[in-house]
Amino acid sequence: MTTDSIRQTVLRVLGTIAPEVDPATLDPSAPFRNQLDLDSIDFLNFLIALRKELGVDVPERDYSQLGSLNACVEYLAAALRASQTDVR
Amino acid sequence: MAEFLMPKLGADMTAGKLVAWRVKPGDVVSRGAIVAEVETDKGVIEVEIFSNGVIDKLLVEPGTVVPVGTPLATLREPIGAESPTERIPVPSPRVPVKDQPLAPAAPVPMNAPPRWRASPAARELARTLGIDLATVPGTGPDGAITRQDVQRATETAPPASATADRASRMRQAIAAAMTRSKREIPHYYLSTTIDLHNALTWLAQRNAARSVTERVLPGVLLLKAVALALREVPQFNALWTDGQAKPSEAIHLGVAISLRGGGLVAPAIHHTDQLSLDELMRKLTDLVNRARTGGLRSSEMADPTLTVTNLGDQGAESVFGVIYPPQVAIVGFGKIGERPWVVGGQVVPRSVLTATLSADHRVSDGHQGSLFLATVDQLLQEPDKL
């Protein structure tokens, strides 16, 4: 999966949680929880949706690594690469 | 023969708009079944029935605003059952309400079956977009409203205006309830700082072994601690009715939920004190999701016994809430933050949060309020017992 497709997936999931926000206005390097006004349950719904879409179950200790859109894409790309390595 | 009445879905409701019927004459209904959708200033609520029977007649047409207590439908008893004439109980008015944002109109007798039906997908989309199904012409079988019909309706009726209108009416309803609260209830306020080290350490270990779908949020521990503390200090689990506080036997915590686009609702999680942490997490998630997409139920709106508001996610250090009448207290939680804390004579970093109590001085004193907050603190020091 390319980083572009991961980014599109993340934006699509965020769009379902905060439908009133235009993803194009999101600053990819700034914390998205503030930009989208996400609370704990929104963030948990976001993680549950990522697990469903990408098969990545983010451990609680890694939540801080998903602060911005860019960081999120980077983390998920690494997690998906690691899972492919494990399979091999 | 029994009557199904427009329920009172909160102390500030005097009238409601019947948006849709979920049943038709001849349908067999059982206690707890959702039979109608009613729009109040808090949004569209799914209304449950609290009796078993067969729908006889629908008395009010969708789109009609009627006062609380107006008969909406008649029921006959199932074959073989007793058939006394009775009115189906609805949550009773607890406090006289003067504010009336929704103007009631005379109920319109219905001579024909419900004019429209909608597919689940259409209902879901309508809720998401804030579209009133009563305004959508259906093109499906027997005039049923399809998802495409709702989509088409968005092109002719911009959802933004409907959403803005709803938000405006909700703001008026909140203004009315909070003004009344501040006018009538002599609030007093207390706060305490709680060391959450034990609770968060225990929760992190518990969550570490679980998938993201099974994890519990810290806010759930806080809710459970409040519910159990109400068992110990029950003065705060009461409703002010007819000039006096009437204790509530059940503990139904109201949870303040902010809505996207503004406003908030505070529906109840029933019997909060009896739920396991996992059950409470599931119910909280479900409640928040339904509050934000539509689908709250009448029983959830009608009977919270104490509200909890948590503004920690938004970064507030503390929140001193305004009591929602006829409740007699509200508990607030701020954000969890690292602070220097003295443990065993040493200053160490600890995760702490500020818990507050706003309470009705007609019902309780600061001494009891202090005991209540101390009990919440003690319960959070032993999270495995929650």
Residues B229 and B364 in one domain: yes
Residues B151 and B251 in one domain: no
Say what the pLDDT of residue B148 is: 72
CB-CB under 8 Å, B215 with A60? yes
Residues B128 and B198 in one domain: no
Residues of chain B where predicted confidence (pLDDT) is lower than 50: 81-86, 88-116, 158
Q: Is there a domain that residue A22 lies in? A: no
Residue B343: half-sphere exposure toward Cβ, Cα within 13 Å: 13
Domain count, chain B: 2
Q: Is there a domain that residue B241 lies in? A: yes
Residues B147 and B208 in one domain: no
Q: Is there a domain that residue B180 lies in? A: no
The alpha carbon of B48 is separated from its chain's Cα centroid by a whole number of angstroms, namely 14
Candidate from A18, A41, A47 with C-beta closest to B260:
A18
- Which string of DSSP letters, residue by residue, matches B10-76? STT-SEEEEEEES--TT-EE-TT-EEEEEEETTEEEEEE--S-EEEEEE-S-TT-EEETT-EEEEEE
CA-based nearest residue to B162, from B39, B49, B73: B39
CA-only gyration radius of chain A, Å: 12
Tell whether A76 lies on the interface with B, counting CB pairs under 8 A: no
Residues B254 and B354 in one domain: yes
Q: Sign of the C-alpha dihedral, residues B313, B315, B317, B320?
A: negative
ipTM: 0.89
Residue A33 sits in a domain whose CATH number is 1.10.1200.10
The whole domain housing A64 covers 3-17+28-87
Q: Is there a domain that residue B225 lies in? A: yes
Residues B280 and B359 in one domain: yes
pLDDT, tens digit, 9 for 90 and up, residues B243-291: 999 999 999 999 999 988 788 999 999 999 999 999 999 999 999 999 9
The alpha carbon of B30 is separated from its chain's Cα centroid by a whole number of angstroms, namely 22
Total CB pairs under 8 A between chain A and B? 41
pLDDT, tens digit, 9 for 90 and up, residues B200-232: 999 999 999 999 999 999 999 999 999 999 999
Q: Is there a domain that residue B18 lies in? A: yes
The whole domain housing B150 covers 2-171
**Over pLDDT 90: what percentage of chain A?**
67
Q: Is there a domain that residue B179 lies in? A: no
Determine the distance in angstroms separating the CA of A4 from the nearest CA of chain B, rounded to an integer: 24
Q: What are phi and psi of B236, to 5 degrees?
A: -90, -5
Q: Is there a domain that residue A12 lies in? A: yes
Using the 3D structure, point to which of B124, B143, B171 is the last residue of a domain: B171
Q: Is there a domain that residue B164 lies in? A: yes
Q: Is there a domain that residue B161 lies in? A: yes
Q: Is there a domain that residue A9 lies in? A: yes
Q: Is there a domain that residue B181 lies in? A: no
pLDDT, tens digit, 9 for 90 and up, residues B76-92: 876 554 433 345 444 44
- Mutation target among B212, B255, B282 for the A interface, most CBs of A within 10 A: B212
Q: Is there a domain that residue A36 lies in? A: yes
